[in-house]
Amino acid sequence: MKKRPLGRTGLSVSALGLGCMGMSMAYGVRDDAESIKTVHRALELGIDHLDSAELYGDGHNEELLGRALKGRRDKAFLATKFHNGVKNRRNPDGIAETGTAYVKKACETSLARLGMDYIDLYYLHRVDPVNPIEDVVGAMDALRKEGKIRFIGLSEAGAETLRRAAKAAPIAALQTEYSLWSREDAEQTMLPACRELGIAYVAYSPMGRGFLTAQFKAPEALPEKDRRHEHPRFQKEHLAKNAALLPALEAMAAKKKCTPAQLALAWVLHRGNEILPIPGTKRRKWLEENVAALELALTSAEIAELERAFPVGVTSGLRYPEPAMKQLGR
């Protein structure tokens, strides 16, 4: 497995990670047995970067990874996230706490679910709505010094928040959405900020939440119990416009004898060595297909062709429902 640096930490992780959210929520029905086999197969293939969060299935995902990594902890670089003010088992009323005592409580709760004594990369899932970022990352840095976490990350923070955080504590990674159909925020503000600060850029949904597999061209193609039905980009009026973007991707994939998903993933991988994509799956079949994208070479002309087909801002519809959009980029 190829490796890429985790910012300026001196550590390298697998060039491709595994997003584990879909094992517990959002995309169809859970299958714990297959999910655990998928984690084990990822480790066999050299993928050590596994991404979770307390929010995923209200703790189910951390519990699942704890089971999957029992006896294999040394093979994994485990990332998880916490969130102030979201309703979950730790915070049943969903009240945003003033002060940073919740940071340690959240970490200890995640460690208990995971059955582990440390977390490799601990993220603030969304910018704290009531406490200054300096205070929050200061509390995270205290966890780092205590040995409860190894590295600090932010998820979906804005560039100025990232800069403020980096002055207060060592930030190893920023995680935001990045794919051919979600380019604007990443390329215009977040990637430049990460490059400036020497912070790794962890790209989630690098295949556009499955859209770039070219399998979901109408809402009816999505599973019945699937959170994408709530996302504007997958709703009928927007999805019809977005599906019109796919023929160029499909044509190039056919020419290169790969799948559209592999081509979309290869494009993200070619955007810079500081980018760490974490495509999500709960099935070994798709995991192995994703890993094959690492060997897919793209010429500069092919990259330019894809970017002409998916220019910045072309996608129809917001990437999250309106309330969730208000939590991004703060």
Give the Cα separation of 261 and 16 in Å (integer): 14
Is 256 a member of any domain?
no
- The count of other CB atoms within 10 Å of the CB of residue 41 is 17
Q: Is the pLDDT of residue 133 over 90?
A: yes
pLDDT band at 224 (very low <50, low <70, confident <90, very high): confident
Is 326 a member of any domain?
no
pLDDT tens digit sequence for 142-190: 999 999 999 999 999 999 999 999 999 999 999 999 999 999 999 999 9
Q: Is the pLDDT of residue 83 over 90?
A: yes
pLDDT value, residue 69: 98
Give the Cα separation of 330 and 154 in Å (integer): 11
pLDDT value, residue 225: 86
Is 28 a member of any domain?
yes
Is 56 a member of any domain?
yes
**CATH number of the domain to which 181 belongs:** 3.20.20.100
Average pLDDT of the chain to the nearest whole number = 97
Report residue 6 CA to chain centroid gap.
15
Is 219 a member of any domain?
no
pLDDT tens digit sequence for 237-275: 999 999 999 999 999 999 999 999 999 999 999 999 999
pTM, whole model, 2 decimals?
0.97
Name the E strands within the chain. Answer: 3-5, 12-14, 18-19, 49-51, 77-82, 119-124, 149-155, 171-177, 200-204, 275-277
- Domain extent, residue 91, equals 3-210+267-296
Is 108 a member of any domain?
yes
Is 43 a member of any domain?
yes
* Residues involved in catalysis: 56
Compute the average pLDDT of residues 73-80: 98
Q: Are 36 and 67 in contact (CB under 8 A)?
A: yes
Enumerate residues 6+ apart whose C-beta is below 8 A from 312: 183, 184, 187, 188
pLDDT value, residue 236: 95
Is 168 a member of any domain?
yes
Enumerate residues 6+ apart whose C-beta is below 8 A from 35: 20, 23, 64, 68, 282
Q: How many domains does the chain have?
A: 1
pLDDT tens digit sequence for 29-76: 999 999 999 999 999 999 999 999 999 999 999 999 999 999 999 999
